[in-house]
């Protein structure tokens, strides 16, 4: 009646559980459970004894069982855009590190371009994530809908919530406007925009701010090209620009994110255009690669680390108290001046 018949093959290591420890210590499981979380009700020596025992046996609590019992999983679902955009790659690194600081783990649900599949989004719910971070530019409102319907807090990063969820983003409109102001000060007069994914608030706002800035100076866009938020898209746009006739040739190109800006730059240079003497290129994001001497991209930098921090703040707050209203945080970006755009004359 005492012979626990170890269900399966024994070869590896039957993981010790609270029950195991309880048997070893000759106490009840509840005592072990409490002792391990330093419940003051358990006498100090029993606590110490059990702690040592746990240490020696290599006991690890089963987070999944704990969830079942306690309600919180400590898991955050993460939906991410294409890793070919270094902005998202770095966001991932930040998110993992900062989540770990708070004792949270990231369950990565989707990465890459393209919409999120049904089975994938279901995983979000099946694994009882406490909350969800959505940082894909693509049409992921579906994932947000699913979470919202189930009462899972959602925070959108770098993208304003269309329907549900809080969001954290850079002030894209102001950023676009600042880019416009900088280019106008540099006496540029003919402007092209290389657009990312249409219908996404992030890039739409950047364009809107930019155009508003131009409009205030009585100017407007002379070219508007698709860039698909990829390097290749940017390159294609750059090629197109390079072969425009003199009449249409812009003297400044605003690519709505850095990865496209790099493509534009490479294409223009490959076509023999001198940057920034003949044409200025300016991006958005300030990904690490923009700072490389080969690119030296002038760009509007997003405060990525802070954005991730605020996102987690919002998320944990709404996990604590689901009744909290949704919240929108907008952070100011900062223009990073490098050498891909002509500078304002130092008057």
What, of DNA, its own copies, none, does residue 108 touch, CB below 5 to 8 Å by kind? its own copies
- Under rule CB under 8 A, residue 265 binds its own copies: yes
The residue within the footprint of its own copies, chosen from 39, 93, 248, 278 (CB under 8 A), is 93
If the CB atoms of residues 277 and 321 are measured against DNA, the closer one turns out to be 321
If the CB atoms of residues 70 and 114 are measured against DNA, the closer one turns out to be 70
If the CB atoms of residues 128 and 249 are measured against DNA, the closer one turns out to be 128
The residue within the footprint of its own copies, chosen from 142, 162, 190, 269 (CB under 8 A), is 269
If the CB atoms of residues 41 and 163 are measured against DNA, the closer one turns out to be 41
- Under rule CB under 7 A, residue 27 binds DNA: yes
Query: Stretches 22-30, 131-139, 258-266, 328-336: which one binds its own copies (CB under 8 A)?
Result: 258-266
Least Å from the CB of residue 16 to DNA: 8
- Under rule CB under 7 A, residue 129 binds DNA: no
- Residue 238 vs residues 26, 267, 269, 283: alpha-carbon distances, Å: 74, 5, 9, 13
Least Å from the CB of residue 102 to DNA: 17
The residue within the footprint of its own copies, chosen from 28, 149, 217, 244 (CB under 8 A), is 149
Q: Which two tokens stand for residue 292?
A: 């490389």
- Under rule CB under 8 A, residue 325 binds its own copies: no
3-state secondary structure the chain: CCCCCCCCCCCCCCCCCHHHHHHHHCCCHHHHHHHHCCCCCCCHHHHHHHHHHHHHHCCCCCHHHHHHHHCCCCEEEEEECCCCCHHHHHHHHHHHHHHHHCCCEEEEEEECCCCCCHHHHHHHHHCCCCEEEEECCCCCHHHHHHHHHCCCCEEEECCCCCCCCEEEEECHHHHHHHHHHHHHHCCCCCEEEEECCCCCHHHHHHHHHHHHHHHHCCCCEEEEEECCCCHHHHHHHHHHHHCCCCCCCCCEEEECCHHHHHHHHHHHHHCCCCCCCCCEEEEEECCHHHHCCCCCCEEEECCHHHHHHHHHHHHHHHHHCCCCCCCEEEECCEEECCCCCCCCCCC
Least Å from the CB of residue 164 to its own copies: 12
Least Å from the CB of residue 168 to its own copies: 20
The residue within the footprint of its own copies, chosen from 17, 29, 49, 67 (CB under 8 A), is 67
The residue within the footprint of its own copies, chosen from 6, 55, 126, 346 (CB under 8 A), is 126
If the CB atoms of residues 18 and 143 are measured against DNA, the closer one turns out to be 18
- Under rule CB under 7 A, residue 43 binds DNA: yes
Q: How far apart are CA 213 and CA 197, in angstroms?
A: 21
Burial group, residue 206, by CB count within 10 angstroms (0-12, 13-18, 19+): buried
Positions touching its own copies (CB under 8 A) are 9, 11-13, 15, 58, 60-65, 67-68, 73, 75, 78, 82-84, 86, 89-90, 92-93, 96-97, 100, 103, 105-112, 117, 119-120, 122-123, 125-128, 149-151, 231, 235, 262-263, 265-267, 269-270, 288-289, 292-295, 322-323
Positions touching DNA (CB under 7 A) are 7, 15, 17-19, 26-31, 33-34, 36-37, 40-44, 46-47, 59-62, 65-66, 68-70
């Amino acid at each position: 009646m005492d012979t626990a018949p170890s269900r399966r093959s024994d070869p590896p290591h039957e993981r010790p559980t609270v029950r195991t420890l309880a048997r070893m210590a000759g106490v009840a499981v509840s005592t072990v459970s409490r002792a391990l979380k330093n419940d003051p009700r358990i006498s100090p020596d029993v606590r110490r004894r059990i702690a040592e025992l746990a240490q020696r046996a290599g006991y690890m609590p089963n987070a999944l069982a704990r969830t079942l019992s306690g309600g919180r999983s400590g898991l955050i679902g993460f939906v991410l855009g294409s890793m070919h955009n270094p902005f998202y790659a770095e966001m991932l690194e930040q998110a993992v590190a900062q989540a770990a600081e708070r004792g949270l783990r990231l369950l990565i649900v989707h990465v890459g371009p393209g919409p999120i599949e049904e089975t994938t989004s279901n995983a979000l719910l099946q694994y009882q994530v406490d909350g969800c971070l959505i940082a894909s530019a693509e049409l992921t409102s579906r994932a947000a809908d699913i979470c919202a319907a189930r009462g899972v807090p959602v925070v959108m990063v770098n993208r304003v919530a269309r329907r549900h969820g809080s969001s954290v983003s850079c002030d894209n409109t102001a950023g676009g406007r600042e880019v416009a102001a900088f280019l106008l000060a540099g006496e540029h007069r003919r402007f092209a925009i290389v657009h990312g994914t249409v219908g996404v608030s992030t890039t739409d706002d950047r364009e809107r701010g930019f155009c508003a800035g131009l409009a205030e100076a009585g100017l407007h866009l002379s070219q508007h090209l698709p860039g698909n938020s990829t390097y290749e898209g940017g390159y294609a746009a750059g090629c197109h620009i390079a072969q425009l006739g003199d009449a249409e040739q812009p003297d400044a190109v605003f690519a709505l994110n850095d990865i496209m800006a790099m493509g534009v730059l490479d294409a223009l240079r490959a076509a023999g255009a001198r940057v920034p003497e003949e044409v200025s290129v300016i991006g958005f994001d300030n990904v690490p690669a923009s700072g490389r001497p080969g690119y030296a991209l002038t760009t509007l930098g997003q405060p990525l680390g802070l954005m991730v921090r605020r996102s987690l703040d919002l998320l944990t707050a709404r996990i604590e108290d689901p009744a909290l209203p949704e919240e929108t945080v907008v952070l100011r970006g900062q223009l990073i001046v490098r050498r891909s755009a002509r500078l304002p004359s130092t008057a």
